[in-house]
Amino acid sequence: MRMGLAVGMLMLAGCGTAPKAPGPGEALLGRIESSHGPEARQRVEAWRDLVEREQSVAEGEKLRSVNAFINRLVFVDDAVHWGREDYWATPLETLVSNGGDCEDFTIAKYYTLRSLRVPESRMRLTYVKSLTLQQPHMVLAYYREPEAEPLILDNLVKEILPASSRLDLVPVYSFNTEGLWLARQRARSEYVGDRDQVGLWREFLARLQREERDWATLSPFLGSAHAAQ
């Protein structure tokens, strides 16, 4: 009887340690690790974990968490990073490559917050002129209410501040998946048409749609970020 019990226990132990076939998300993470190394995989896993962990926190905390997480990446000009004068990377491309420029940081924040169920109507990717850099720059503007003063999520100034405190930025135009706005005053803008007037945005969305299945394998919350494209 004792021998039979021991054999049975060994058989159960063997069942418990049998290797499992990798799920779709694990397959993607494995490809990322093979092509870009373990640190790239860790960044993508941390992104997925942040999105799953922060689903139920207050919206202000979501803004702070996402802004801080994306700002940890390395700033690199497109010509150096992608070999192109101007390239808008998907969030997954930015995370895997551990860097990007202001547009890439802003896009990654926008889609991560959408994955956290922040309404896209409250967020606009906003082109500004940086008086500090004396050149164009992009930030994410967050509007708690339609006519409210926006909060600015930026990679230059790490703290999230109201637009009136960012006198170093002059707004030019803003857009999201719902439309395009031209700046009329520092905190005011006028709707002027369809988002597809922004050529790089059209090209970016086409690449993003091809990446949609990969996001969904990592987390259903990430897959939901592509709704209403």
CA–CA distance, 204 with 214 (Å, rounded to integer): 16
The string of pLDDT tens digits covering residues 107-126 is 999 999 999 999 999 999 99
If you classify domain 23-226 with CATH, what class do you get?
alpha beta
47-51, 127-131, 199-203: least confidently modelled range: 199-203
Q: Which of 134, 133, 109 is nearest to 122 (CA)?
A: 109
The string of pLDDT tens digits covering residues 5-26 is 444 433 444 445 545 455 678 9
Find the DSSP H helices in the chain: 2-17, 24-36, 38-53, 59-71, 78-81, 91-97, 102-115, 199-218, 220-223
pLDDT range class, residue 213, cuts 50, 70, 90: confident
Q: What does pTM read for this prediction? A: 0.84
Tokens of 210: 């091809």
Write down the domain spans for the chain.
Answer: 23-226
DSSP-derived letter for residue 22 is P
